[in-house]
Amino acid sequence: MRLGAFSVVESRPAIDGADPNGRYDELLRLIETADRSGLASFWVAEHHFQSSGLCPAPPVLLAAAGQRTSRIRLGSLVCVLPFHRPIDVAEEYSLLDVLLHGRLNFGIGSGYVPLELEGFGVLASAKREAFDRNLAEVRAAFYGEPIQIEGGGCVRINVRSPQVPHPPIWVAAQRRESVAPIARAGLGLALLPYATFRDRSDLGAAVQEYRRALPPGVPGSVSIALPMYVGEDSARAHRALDRHLASRAAASEGFFEGAVRRGPSTLSAAAVARSGFSVFGPSDTVADALEEFERLGVDEVLGMFDIGDLPVPEVVQSIRRAATARARVVGMAPTAWIRPMRAY
Average pLDDT over residues 223-230: 98
The reported pLDDT for the residue numbered 340 is: 41
Least-confidence region, from 50-54, 190-194, 299-303: 50-54
Mode of pairing for the β-strands spanning 154-155 and 147-148: antiparallel
The reported pLDDT for the residue numbered 247 is: 86
d(CA 91, CA 214): 28
With CA atoms as reference, report the closest residue to 269 among 306, 231, 227, 305. Answer: 227
Does residue 338 surpass a pLDDT of 70? no
CA dihedral sign, ordered 284, 288, 293, 295 = positive
DSSP 8-state code for residue 215: P
Instruction: State which fold the 2-337 domain adopts.
Output: TIM Barrel (3.20.20)
Average pLDDT over residues 138-160: 94
| Residue 334 CB contacts under 8 Å (≥ 6 apart), including other chains | 3, 37, 38, 39, 323, 324, 326, 327
Mark 276-292 as b/e (b = at least 16 C-beta within 10 Å): bbbbbbebeebbebbee
The reported pLDDT for the residue numbered 52 is: 87
The reported pLDDT for the residue numbered 261 is: 42
Residue type, 155: V
Sequence spans of domains, the chain: 2-337
Q: Tens of pLDDT along 13-61?
A: 655 454 768 999 999 999 999 999 999 999 999 999 988 899 999 999 9
Least-confidence region, from 92-106, 281-295, 310-324, 326-340: 326-340
d(CA 302, CA 275): 17
d(CA 193, CA 216): 26
**Are the CB atoms for 161 and 179 separated by under 8 Å?**
no
Q: How many CB atoms lie within 10 A of CB 11?
A: 17
Give CA torsion, residues 170, 197, 48, 306, to 10 deg. Answer: -90
Residues in the chain, how many? 344
Does residue 4 surpass a pLDDT of 90? yes
The reported pLDDT for the residue numbered 331 is: 59
Q: Tens of pLDDT along 237-266?
A: 999 999 999 988 877 764 444 444 444 445
Average pLDDT over residues 223-246: 95
| Residue 277 CB contacts under 8 Å (≥ 6 apart), including other chains | 193, 194, 197, 200, 203, 226, 227, 260
Average pLDDT over residues 75-80: 98
